Amino acid sequence: MEGRGRRLDRIFPVLLLAPVLSLFTVTNLYPVTYALILSFQRRTPWDLVGQWVGLHNYDVVLHDPEFWASLTRGFVFGFGSVAVQILAGLFTALVVRQRFRGKPIIVTLVLVPYIVPTFATALIMRWIFNDMYGVANYALFSLGFLQSYVSFFGDVSRAMPTLIIANSWQYAMFVTLVFLARMMTIDPNLYEMAEVLGASAFRKFRDITLPSIKGVFLLVILLRSIWMFNKFDVVYLLTRGGPLSSTTTLPILTYINAFDGHQFGIGAAIATLTFVVLAVFATTYFVVLKPEKEIVT
Amino acid sequence: MTDSPDKKMSRRSYLKYIGAGAVVVAAAGGAYYLTRPPPPKTVPLHFFTGESDPDSIKAWQSIYNEYLKTHPNVAVTDEYVAWEEEDPRIINLVSAGTPPSIWYCGDAVAAEPTVRGWIDQDAVGEVVAAAGIPEQNRRKYQGKDFIAPFMYEIVYMWYRTDVFEKYGVQAPKTWKDLLDVCETIDNPTGMRANAIVCGAIEASMEYSAPFWWGNGVRFMDYKDGDWQVTLDEEPYMSRAVETLEYLYELHKYSAAAPDWSYSELLDAFSTEKVAITYYIGARVLNVVIDRNPAIEFKMAPFQIPCPRENVTLGGIQGYTLFKQKDPEVTAAAKDLTEYMLTPAGVMPFLLSVPYHEIPADPKIYEDPTYLANPRISNHKDIIPFLKEMTAICRNWTTVLGPDKPLNPYLYNLCSEGNRLGAMQEKRVAGQESETIVKNAAQEMRDQLAELKIET
């Protein structure tokens, strides 16, 4: 009796975890393994069985200048987006943290961009930056910053910065939420003491707020960088990687090769290399910056 | 008072009760499943198209909903994708073993699936015969029909008659005329002369084809029993460079940016940002009537000028049927398609966007039902022009003329990355035309090697 009870005690946690593990296997482990195997094959819609080609796909991808250019653009888009999101997110968190009338309403409005579906965001941004009717052109032209209306998403030099801004509008609020949550745990007495000692707002931010949020800061950089580097939906919806491939990042390149070029093996190889890049980045990040120490403190 | 330990249920008891409950539910469900009356057998049909205009979708839905009233054993699921998603989606559906039952498309996109053996040409032939489609509208591969067509979509340009009158210019007949007119009427801070899309966008591919073909450029030719890329061979190479340079000059008077799609083209003309635009058909006219009726009667169509060959891009559109595993699906698909080709099926669609869908049967222009539509009757003056365009239009599969075999590759090679627009985009960005053309030819050859169909 007791033995059966002990067996049940051992099996029971596994039984409870089984649904989640099954879901993880089906939605994560299986597709990732499948993609890895696909990256060693030559497979097209007209040859679904495929042929084993070993490292040929990786050889083709690594010798393709477009891969390296897309990798660079990925870093530009990723780090550019993270920088804008952190600055905007931190600023918003600092503002929203203050006491003022209508704060609950403002906080709700601040969160709206994050909950708007990506497709709707892309549509809004297309209109804001439209070269004929867009409010961005209207405002910049009226203020004298532009001599005439310009194309934001259609110009090679402007497409990437515009994309970064359009993308950051939605995700900066996530950063705001994270920073706000951390700031709420800071002892308010520290600010009172600083006030008594005559510290300016900047000193209070630099000496109290910033050290307190440093751990979260580093974590946000890691997570947002990975997510932005992997971003497909907003880029595809707004520019499809154009004009002239100026916004083609690795996820877009993967899509173009797999679904426009019908080269599933090549697409899988690019996706695998993207994973490798991110894994190297994440490992370097943890080894060099040691963010876990900041979080503990 | 503390709870008696006897009243607490052990974990084993919990599991026993949950298990017993699950068995009861499963038994009840199984009993219901086994004893329920069998559902009526319906034949599922999948209607698919790359046409996503809301008015056209409504027309189709009304047509087959009418059919389903008298055919309750048929169930239709419809799928409307964006134009540029059509081809990849077809490939994915066929690869997955679930091809659509009925596909509304143009003969250009239907060519490759036909040559690959995906189309049930026997079934299509029976539908064509039942619909009485005249010989000049039939499209065949190896002697058998591969599409049951009923209308055309043709590329031409629209211009503002009042603006032309104001500047004292006429509708252009030559390339030089067009450039001169644009130079005369262009106002960089007001209404621009034209809208020449210069990006790797689907809109640019369709309108620019008549410029290339009209200048005698052959992207491919049928030589030594096979289709080969000839874009970088003389005389086509120098004609291609000439065309690219001409489009670059024309773009100097254009409002269009590289990211413009069809909707920007329509908006630009209907909101009077440009005096000349191109479009596939008369959707421009319908958009103007809906949004800016003040200029409805101040616009007229004209043919894209052609220096060397009198041709424009136009495709015949209709229905085609994929090979199915289930003969009942084939039979039901044929029946529904035949219905959709009757006047009851054709007229709602032709009138969903008047004049945009050009009837393949010229008798429809005299049909009282057709002429009763106000937009049709108010603009009857463009009918002779449309008949002219119908006579000279060719598409990607027949661009070299009817005496050459069907070309199943050209549409794909040019739509891949929207090649024609991509070439213009590079020219506007400052690259050399000759380099652009040579690179495009090589890319097409590389792609052709992947696409080659063994026949």
A28 CA: distance to closest CA in chain B (Å): 22
Cβ contacts below 8 Å, chain A against chain B, sum to 64
Tokens 């751990």 correspond to A215
Instruction: Check whether B8 has a pLDDT greater than 90.
Output: no
Least confident of A59-63, A123-127, B174-178, B362-366: B362-366
Write out the two tokens for B63.
């047509």
Nearest to B175, CA basis, from B218, B215, B217, B234: B215
Contact B416 A156 (CB under 8 A): no
Chain-chain contact of B255 with A132 (C-beta, under 8 angstroms): yes
Q: Is residue A144's pLDDT more than 60?
A: yes
Give residue B34's pLDDT: 87
In chain B, which residues have their Cβ closer than 8 Å to the Cβ of A243?
199-200, 258-259, 425
CB contact under 8 A, A148 and B91: no
State the nearest Cα–Cα gap between B446 and chain A, in angstroms.
11
Mean pLDDT over residues B421-439, rounded? 94
Q: For B265-321, write each residue's pLDDT tens digit.
A: 899 999 999 999 988 889 999 999 999 999 999 999 999 999 999 999 988 899 999
Predicted local distance difference test score (pLDDT) of residue B86 = 87
Q: Encode pLDDT of B62-90 as tens digits.
A: 998 999 999 999 999 999 998 778 888 89
Contact assignment for A242 to B429 by CB distance below 8 Å: no
Render A200-264 in DSSP notation, one character per residue.
-HHHHIIIIIHHHHHHHHHHHHHHHHHHHHT--HHHHHHTTT-STTTT--HHHHHHIIIIIS--H
In sequence order, which ranges of A116-209 are alpha helices (DSSP H)? Answer: 118-128, 135-142, 156-183, 188-196, 201-204
Q: A48 and B416: CB-CB below 8 Å?
A: no
Asked if residue A262 is part of any domain, the answer here is yes
Q: Which residue out of A131, A147, A255 would a mutagenesis test of the B interface target, given it has the greatest number of B Cβ atoms within 10 Å?
A: A131
Q: How far is B135 from chain A, CA to nearest CA, in Å?
A: 33
- Are B258 and A148 inside 8 Å of each other by CB? no
Letter string b/e over residues B147-168, b meaning 16 or more CB atoms within 10 A of that residue's CB? bbbbbbbbbbbbbbeebbeeee
- Chain A from 109 to 128: CB within 8 A of any B CB: none
Q: What single string gives the DSSP state of each residue in B12-73?
A: HHHHHHHHHHHHHHHHHHHHHHHHSPPPPP-EEEEEEES---HHHHHHHHHHHHHHHHT-TT
Give yes or no for residue B35 having a pLDDT over 60: yes
Residue A97 C-beta-side C-alpha neighbours within 13 Å: 20
Report the gap between the CA of B64 and the closest CA in chain A (Å).
31
Residue A11, domain member (yes or no): yes
Dist. CA B411–CA B227, nearest whole Å: 13
Instruction: Check whether residue A180 and residue A292 sit in a common domain.
Output: yes
pLDDT of the residue at B7? 59
pLDDT surpasses 90 at B426 = yes
Same domain flag for A128 and A224: yes
**Helix and strand numbers, DSSP H then E, in chain A:** 15, 2
Same domain, A110 and A245: yes
- In terms of CA atoms, which chain A residue is nearest residue B448? A261
**What is the predicted pLDDT for the residue at B2?**
46
Per the CB < 8 Å rule, is A132 touching B416? Answer: no
Instruction: Kindly report the nearest CA distance between residue A70 and chain B, in angstroms.
Output: 16
Predicted confidence (pLDDT) at residue A296 exceeds the cutoff of 60: no
Beta bridge partners of B119: B322
Domain of residue A23 covers 2-38
Q: How far is B189 from chain A (nearest CA, A)?
A: 8
Question: Which positions in chain A touch B267 (Cβ < 8 Å)?
Answer: 132-133
Domains of chain B: 43-153+314-390 (3.40.190.10), 155-313+402-451 (3.40.190.10)
Judging contacts by C-beta atoms under 8 Å, the chain B residues touching residue A151 are 257-259
Give A201's pLDDT tier (boundaries 50, 70, 90). Answer: confident
Contact B267 A132 (CB under 8 A): yes
Burial level of B272, CB count in 10 A (0-12/13-18/19+)? middle
Mean pLDDT in residue range B206-220: 92
- Which of B91, B264, B425 comes nearest A244 by C-beta? B425
Q: Does residue A46 belong to any structural domain of this protein?
A: no
B199 to A262: CB separation less than 8 angstroms, yes or no? no
Residue A183 has pLDDT above 60, yes or no: yes
User: Which residues of B85-225 form beta strands (DSSP E)?
Assistant: 102-106, 139-141, 144-160, 192-194, 220-223
For residues B104 and B205, the model is more confident at B104
Instruction: Please give the average per-residue pLDDT across B3-24, as a whole number.
Output: 79
Predicted confidence band at B1 (pLDDT cuts at 50, 70, 90)? very low
- Is A50 inside any structural domain? no
> Given a cut of 90, is residue B100 above it in pLDDT?
yes
Which of A111-115, B93-97, B237-241, B346-350 reaches the highest mean pLDDT?
A: B237-241
Q: Is the pLDDT of residue A45 over 80?
A: no
Quick count: other Cβ atoms within 10 Å of Cβ B220? 22
Is A263 contained in some domain? yes
Q: Treating both helix axes as pointing N-terminal to C-terminal, what angle do A210-229 and A264-289 enclose, rounded to 10 degrees?
A: 170
pLDDT at B3: 46
Question: How far, in Å, CA of B432 to CA of B367, rounded?
Answer: 52
One domain for residues A119 and A32: no
Look up the pTM and report it.
Answer: 0.83
- Does A276 score more than 60 pLDDT? yes
Cis peptide before B235 (omega within 30 of 0): yes
For residues A216 and A70, state if they share a domain.
Answer: yes
Asked if residue A54 is part of any domain, the answer here is no
Q: How far is B91 from chain A (nearest CA, A)?
A: 7
Query: Does some domain include residue A226?
Result: yes
pLDDT digits (tens, 9 = 90+) for A7-35: 777 888 888 888 898 998 899 899 999 99
Does A175 share its domain with A86?
yes
Q: Are A107 and A15 found together in one domain?
A: no
The CATH number of whichever domain residue A162 belongs to comes to 1.10.3720.10
Note whether A121 and A238 are same-domain residues. Answer: yes
Which residue of B lies nearest to A149 if distances are taken between CA atoms? B189
Closest alpha carbon within chain B to A8: B12
> What pLDDT score was predicted for residue B51?
85
- What confidence score (pLDDT) does residue A261 get? 81
Residue B163 and residue B185: Cα distance in Å, rounded? Answer: 8
Both A128 and A272 in one domain: the answer is yes
**Which helix (H) or strand (E) covers residue A296, if one does?**
helix A291-296
User: Same domain for A34 and A163?
Assistant: no
Q: What is the pLDDT of residues A46-102, one digit of tens each?
A: 777 788 999 999 999 999 999 999 999 999 999 999 999 999 999 999 988 888 888
Same structural domain, A190 and A253: yes
Specify the range with the lowest mean pLDDT, choosing from A129-143, B10-24, B236-250.
Answer: B10-24
Beta bridge partners of B316: B152
Helix A156-183, helix A118-128: angle, nearest 10: 130
For residue A81 the two structure tokens come to 């987006």
Confidence of residue B449 (pLDDT cuts 50, 70, 90): confident
B15 contacts in chain A (CB < 8 Å): 8
What ipTM was assigned to the predicted interfaces of this complex? 0.78
Instruction: Please state, rounded to an integer, the average pLDDT across all residues of chain A.
Output: 89
Weakest mean pLDDT among A231-240, A278-287, B141-150, B163-172: A278-287
How many domains does chain A fold into? 2
Residue environment code for B22-39, b if the CB has 16+ CB neighbours within 10 A, otherwise e: eeeeeeeeeeeeeeeeee
Both tokens of B431, joined, read: 């690259």
Clarify whether residues A179 and A274 are in a common domain: yes
Q: Do B450 and A262 touch (CB under 8 A)?
A: yes
A262 and B CB contact within 8 Å: yes
**Candidate ranges A192-196, B43-47, B195-199; pick with highest mean pLDDT:** B43-47
Q: Per-residue DSSP letters for B399-431?
A: TT-TTSPP-SSHHHHHHTTTHHHHHHHHHHTT-
Greater pLDDT, A74 or B136: A74
Average pLDDT across chain B, whole number: 90
B12 or B212: which leads in pLDDT: B212
